Amino acid sequence: MLTFKQLKKTYGGRTVVDINNLNIREGETIGLVGNNGAGKTTLFRMLLDLIRPDSGEVLSKDQNVSENDHWKDYTASYLDEGFLIDYLTPEEYFTFIGSLHNLSVAHVADYLKQYEEFFNGEILNRGKYIRDFSKGNQNKIGIAAALMQKPELLVLDEPFANLDPTTQIRLKSLIKSLKSTHRLTTLISSHDLNHVTDVCDRIILLEKGLVIKDFHTDENSLKELEAYFSE
């Protein structure tokens, strides 16, 4: 599904991302962990063609993401509030995102019904613009809008941050079920080792832009990660 080749990015002489060769197969759920400054978000941004790599390339379905837009057809993402059009009401935003994928207003409304539980009655018909919602609820809007696009590849940056416990649990089961029903490939970054080891089947540990560890999760993964980070 994804290949990162000799991918490098430096800012002011400091290497932020330096990945030699990394493959991600279809249907995998990848957890990206690492302390602040490890290069997680920069990696995501290069994957989404928001930052130009200094060298190397990101191939999505064997096509370089910076050379054409095909990857946008099957990729959905939510990194931060910068992805939301914050002066729209959530309904307007969902309709807009839906229209980009040729979903009618009725389709979108229909789709949103499944997420009533996820939204917990706090998102729709509140008579507010997105900018007036709390960070956690903005997160929910972004994630729901990403899922609505029926992606094959989903990229989420710290999706659990700012979410309330109920929603965290719901999100985890949502990702797990989409993986089994739609063979969804997911990339998640998180600081919460519990969640990552719970939901992901492969963990990639970054430090200063380098891949330090790359392994499939088993019952010892959490301990292993905790040991690594407490050193």
How far is it, in rounded angstroms, from Cα 171 to Cα 44? 20
Q: How far is the CB of 220 from another protein (least distance, A)?
A: 36
DSSP state of 87: T
Site membership for another protein, residue 123 (CB under 8 A): no
Give the binding range for another protein (CB under 8 A) out of 99-107, 162-170, 186-194, 205-213.
99-107
Site membership for another protein, residue 63 (CB under 8 A): no
DSSP state of 88: S
Site membership for another protein, residue 132 (CB under 8 A): yes
Site membership for another protein, residue 215 (CB under 8 A): no
How far is it, in rounded angstroms, from Cα 203 to Cα 215? 6
Q: Which is nearer to another protein, 52 or 113 (CB)?
A: 52
How far is it, in rounded angstroms, from Cα 210 to Cα 212? 6
Site membership for another protein, residue 82 (CB under 8 A): yes
Q: Which positions from 1 to 40 touch another protein by CB under 8 A, shown as an x/- string?
A: ----------------------------------------
> Are 148 and 113 within 8 A, CB to CB?
no
Q: Which is nearer to another protein, 18 or 49 (CB)?
A: 49
Binds another protein (CB under 8 A): choice among 86, 164, 192, 207: 86
Q: Report residue 79 as tokens.
A: 């990194």
Binds another protein (CB under 8 A): choice among 129, 162, 192, 222: 129
Characterize 149-161 residue by residue with b for buried, 16 or more Cβ atoms within 10 angstroms of its Cβ, and e for exposed: bebbbbbbbbbbe
Q: How far is the CB of 82 from another protein (least distance, A)?
A: 4
Quote the Cα angle for 40-132-191, to 5°.
Answer: 20
How far is it, in rounded angstroms, from Cα 131 to Cα 66? 30
List interacting residues with another protein (CB under 8 A). 48-52, 69, 72-73, 77, 79-89, 91-92, 95-97, 99-101, 127-129, 132
